[in-house]
Amino acid sequence: MVQLTALSRNDAGIETALGILKQRFGDRMQTGTSVRQQHAHTTTWIANQPPDAVVFPRDTEEVAEIVKICATHKVPVVPFGTGTSLEGHVNAPGGGISVDMAEMNHILTVHAEDLDVVVQPGVTREQLNTHLRDQGLFFPIDPGANASLGGMTATRASGTNAVRYGTMKDNVLALEAVMPDGRVIRTAQRAKKTSAGYDLTRLLVGSEGTLGLITEITLKLQGIPEAIRSARCSFPSVDAACRTVMAVIQYGVPVARIELLDALQVRAVNAYSKLNLPETPLLLLEFHGSDASVAEQAETFGALAEEFGASGYEATSSTEDRNRLWQARHDAYWASLQLRPGAQGISTDVCVPISRLAECVGRAQEKAAELDLLAPIVGHVGDGNFHSLVLIDMDQPKEVARADQFVGWLNEMAIEMDGTCTGEHGIGQGKMRYLTRELGEATDVMVAIKQALDPDNIMNPGKIVAL
């Protein structure tokens, strides 16, 4: 595991806070070793740094009470959604209290006529979409995992639909949050736009729990499309596939999803999902709209792809076929692990301007081969974002070192291309070392904001910026 420096502990304050919280919350505060370790679990190679206790609040008032107790005794507070984050976001490097939002999982109000919904942070995206289905509505952000909407907001998540519907920052209208001193604030009303003061909503979206704990979210909704059509085609090279993506975006085809799988990833998906796709770079697409518009979009894409040497182009409106293809995409992580049984998959992501995408993906493949690493690639390439899953034996220090070299090199290359070290995973602990390289003195402004709002550094300390 990648070891991290622990923060100094306030043992006296933690002990006092634990006693108060136990008296107040009883069985809803747990200190068992397995529960604490599970709440620091990250699906990555970052070492587990468990909290001292886990508390399960049921409403905003209880969250505020927890934060006030912790603020009084200067005890760290770490929010927890479903634990699907990838960069150590839920670790507790200074100990403290993990606040698990699982019991704050109520859909509070659906305003169907306004296309918005108010939810608690523990609601998951699948739970919300199941609830909305009968009303002809859906929430489009799909990071793959059935993450909580609070966690998705805190990490500024995106996913396969971002090319058409944007990311969480584009779909959050307003937030309720508990600040580091225990105050409860609302960042905005439900209006679709506002010029009223600082944009506190966007400040908290992506703040990873370092500025406050999100307790209520107002989200934009979309109408379920009249028609959905999926398409796939294979390419002779990653370069040809990426150039097709650039052409599609520049031509203005309103694709809802456009995903790249490199040849190695296609091989993994074939074996795991029992498909028979050509084992060459593959694009998966989805079009939303009326029957006529999706047919036109699919036809236009097919013509553009043909210019770049695409083969095996197929488009379908069959729900069964569409679901099978996209389930295979969502199973890419598990499929990749079968390429090297027993290995651990280390996922990293970068995002670059679309004009640099083909070069970036190609160089990443070459670097992985140079370092003798197995690293299949998938990407939300409609917005220049891709993921590399490095499969390594954690018991081999030299191999771990090569993987760390690759991840560092990939992040640096993306930054050099005017891109970012993370398109959607977030900074957490794992990518802190690249943030200053990417944003320079802007990180000093982040530090100033953090210190102004959280002078005692109790809100998810040790993440994004170092104090």
- The least confident of 44-53, 173-182, 370-379 is 44-53
Band (pLDDT 50/70/90 cuts) for residue 19 is very high
Segment 318-331 mean pLDDT? 83
Where are the domain boundaries for CATH 3.30.70.2740 in the chain? 336-424
**What does CATH list as the number for 107-223?**
3.30.465.10
- Where, residue-wise, is CATH 3.30.70.3450 in the chain? 227-333
Which of the four pLDDT bands, split at 50, 70 and 90, describes residue 4? low
Q: How far apart are CA 170 and CA 181, in angstroms?
A: 28
pLDDT at 383 over 70: yes
- Asked whether residue 143 carries a pLDDT value surpassing 80, the answer given is yes
Tens of pLDDT along 117-130?
999 999 999 999 99
The per-residue pLDDT for range 199-253, each reduced to its tens digit, is 999 999 999 999 999 999 999 999 999 999 999 999 999 999 999 999 999 999 9
In tens, the pLDDT along 81-91 reads 999 999 999 99
- In CATH, what number does 227-333 get? 3.30.70.3450
User: What is the value of pTM for the model shown?
Assistant: 0.95
At residue 325, the pLDDT reads 79
Intervals of CATH 3.30.465.10 along the chain: 107-223
- Residue 323's pLDDT band, with cuts at 50, 70 and 90, is confident
Centroid of chain to Cα 254: 23
Predicted confidence (pLDDT) per residue in 327-344, tens digit: 778 889 999 999 999 999
pLDDT-above-90 percentage for the chain: 89
Residue 76 has pLDDT above 80, yes or no: yes
Percent of the chain beyond pLDDT 70? Answer: 99
**Residue 5 pLDDT > 80, yes or no?**
no
pLDDT tens per residue across span 250-307: 999 999 999 999 999 999 999 999 889 999 999 999 999 999 999 999 999 999 999 9
Q: According to the model, what pLDDT value does residue 144 have?
A: 82
Does the pLDDT value for residue 2 go beyond 80?
A: no
Mean pLDDT, the chain, whole residue set:
95
The domain defined by 336-424 folds into Alpha-Beta Plaits (3.30.70)
Chain segment 405-459, per-residue pLDDT in tens: 999 999 999 999 999 999 999 999 999 999 999 999 999 999 999 999 999 999 9
For 105-116, write each residue's pLDDT tens digit.
999 999 999 999
